[in-house]
Amino acid sequence: MIKLSNFPFKTQKTVPNGSDNKSTWILLQAGFIRQTMAGVYSYTTLGLKVLRKIENIVREEMDNYGVAETLMPSLSPKELWEKTGRWDTIDVMFHLPAANNKQYWLNSTHEEIVTPLVWEFIQSYKDLPTSVYQIQNKFRNEKRAKSWILRWREFLMKDAYSFHSSNEDFVKYYEWMKEVYLNIFKRIGLWEDTIIALADWWTFTEKFSHEFQVKTEIGEDTIYKCKNCEVNFNEELIDLEKGFECLKCNSKEFIKFPASEIWNIFPLETKFTKAFWIQYLWEDNKMQTPLMGCYGIWVSRAMWLVAEKYVWEKGIAWPESVAPAKYYIAIIWEENIEKAYELIEKLNLDKSEIILDDRFWRKIGFGQKMWDAELLGIPNVIVISKKTLEQNSYELNWELIKI
Ligand SMILES: [Zn+2]
């Protein structure tokens, strides 16, 4: 049970400055987050509840499909990135000078760490396929970090990596991961707004990599949807000067809309396994280079996109699956607090899903409590007052319920 009197909590009547989008305003106004610097946020107790729920849905769906969780470090040595030639080519990495003339990176991605790590455990084709995932903070050295949801310097991400001995095996896994991702969208309430867009060419099979995009006004990407065959293309595929034909049906008619990339899946082919000289023994006793895929989800961005979608004039109407709690219980009559607690016990609710508004000595009025409950977006508001206690009852979403 979360007691509002136990941690720093306060909502704001007015919309705070310092943001260019609704979701950040409402998350600040409801006290879910505070900005530590541009593109870097702290999560307060209730904001963290939402973030953890999204994170756990991602974890459950990955675990349900048998992908194994791991945890790699945020810090890595220069030598690993020199092997793939990315030390000098990725300009959004934080370079950290360290003791003894060493240089480290704060990781924005983990191919250089996961490839040699997994290879400690693989000798032959019998050890393939295999895959791992992790959920951890990533870092990007953005030159112009904004509250805008794309340009963050630190954010929570789920990244998975798979290793295969054949292209058929990789394609099977890749299609299967798409299903896992769609399940996650359904559970966090972004299903109707999610589209799969084709992005870069995936050269060796003449297919594309896939981006999962959420339609939103604050999206940083532009999507072209073919009016004829309904396939979505990211604008980056389109040569606007030459004109664009649908790559599936050759139609030239498109609907254009903004969207935010939330998750992507990439075939990495042998780019990283070759760079690390990784090989395994095939059935015919010859050495082969394994294929790799990577699968990302921006967990913290998902929280912003859910907030952006479900914001209304009084607050955020979170889907129950990601709301900070299922129940908001306001005790109005503190003189008989013991009786109120007895009643809560009788209701037999899941205690981890209760926010108890017990801000008695702060003299928070009834109106303010109800205003806060709506701003926070808790689906079930329970009021226990002198009147309800005398009638051995409580109010649930404004209806009197007898016990
Ligand atoms: Zn088409």
On the question of pLDDT at 203 being above 50, the answer is: no
CA–centroid distance, 245 to ligand 1, in Å, is: 8
What is the dihedral angle through the alpha carbons of 177, 178, 179, 183, rounded to the nearest 10 degrees? Answer: 100
CA–centroid distance, 193 to ligand 1, in Å, is: 20
Distance CA 223, CA 254 (A): 9
Q: If 0-12 CB within 10 Å is exposed, 13-18 middle and 19+ buried, where does residue 240 land?
A: exposed
CA–centroid distance, 225 to ligand 1, in Å, is: 8
CA–centroid distance, 227 to ligand 1, in Å, is: 7
When pLDDT is averaged across residues 313-321 and rounded to a whole number, the result is 95
Structural tokens at position 293: 């895929």
CA–centroid distance, 192 to ligand 1, in Å, is: 21
- Residues belonging to the chain: 403
CA–centroid distance, 168 to ligand 1, in Å, is: 26
CA–centroid distance, 257 to ligand 1, in Å, is: 16
Nearest to 237 by CA among 227, 222, 253: 222
**C-alpha angle 56/383/356, rounded to 5°?**
40
CA–centroid distance, 234 to ligand 1, in Å, is: 13
- DSSP states along 219-274: -SEEEEEETTT--EEEGGG--TTT----TTT----EEEEEEEEEEEEEEEETHHHH
CA–centroid distance, 253 to ligand 1, in Å, is: 8
Whether the bond between 379 and the residue before it is cis, its omega within 30 degrees of 0, is no
Give the three-state DSSP class for 47: helix
Q: Which residues neighbour ligand 1 (ion) by CB within 5 Å? A: 226, 228-229, 246, 248-249, 251
State the number of CA atoms in the 13 A half-sphere of 93 facing the CB.
Answer: 22
Report pTM.
0.93
How far apart, in Å, are the Cα atoms of 354 and each of 114, 358, 367?
Answer: 39, 12, 20
CA–centroid distance, 150 to ligand 1, in Å, is: 29
Residue 26: the pLDDT is 92
CA–centroid distance, 236 to ligand 1, in Å, is: 17
CA of residue 76 relative to chain centroid, distance: 23
Distance CA 278, CA 160 (A): 19
CA–centroid distance, 198 to ligand 1, in Å, is: 12
Residues 6 or more apart in contact with residue 88 via CB below 8 angstroms:
none
CA–centroid distance, 299 to ligand 1, in Å, is: 31
CA–centroid distance, 174 to ligand 1, in Å, is: 23
CA–centroid distance, 248 to ligand 1, in Å, is: 5
Query: What are 240-256's pLDDT values in tens digits?
Result: 777 788 888 889 999 99
The residue that leads in pLDDT, 96 or 263, is 96
Query: What are 156-172's pLDDT values in tens digits?
Result: 999 999 999 999 999 99
When pLDDT is averaged across residues 168-183 and rounded to a whole number, the result is 92
How many C-beta atoms lie closer than 10 Å to residue 44's C-beta? 18
Distance CA 287, CA 74 (A): 32
Under a CB-based contact definition with an 8 Å cutoff, are residues 122 and 280 in contact? yes
Distance CA 394, CA 403 (A): 8
CA–centroid distance, 243 to ligand 1, in Å, is: 14
Distance CA 363, CA 318 (A): 27
CA–centroid distance, 293 to ligand 1, in Å, is: 27
CA–centroid distance, 224 to ligand 1, in Å, is: 10
How many C-beta atoms lie closer than 10 Å to residue 150's C-beta? 17
Query: What are 9-59's pLDDT values in tens digits?
Result: 999 998 877 667 888 889 999 999 998 988 899 999 999 999 999 999 999
CA–centroid distance, 232 to ligand 1, in Å, is: 8
On the question of pLDDT at 195 being above 50, the answer is: yes
CA–centroid distance, 244 to ligand 1, in Å, is: 11
Nearest to 74 by CA among 136, 17, 167, 14: 136
Under a CB-based contact definition with an 8 Å cutoff, are residues 55 and 69 in contact? no
List the single range of 168-182, 234-248, 256-270, 322-336 with lowest mean pLDDT. Answer: 234-248
How far apart, in Å, are the Cα atoms of 237 and each of 23, 155, 197, 223, 261?
Answer: 29, 27, 10, 10, 15
CA–centroid distance, 231 to ligand 1, in Å, is: 6
Q: If 0-12 CB within 10 Å is exposed, 13-18 middle and 19+ buried, where does residue 88 land?
A: exposed
Residues 6 or more apart in contact with residue 109 via CB below 8 angstroms:
138, 159, 294
CA–centroid distance, 252 to ligand 1, in Å, is: 8
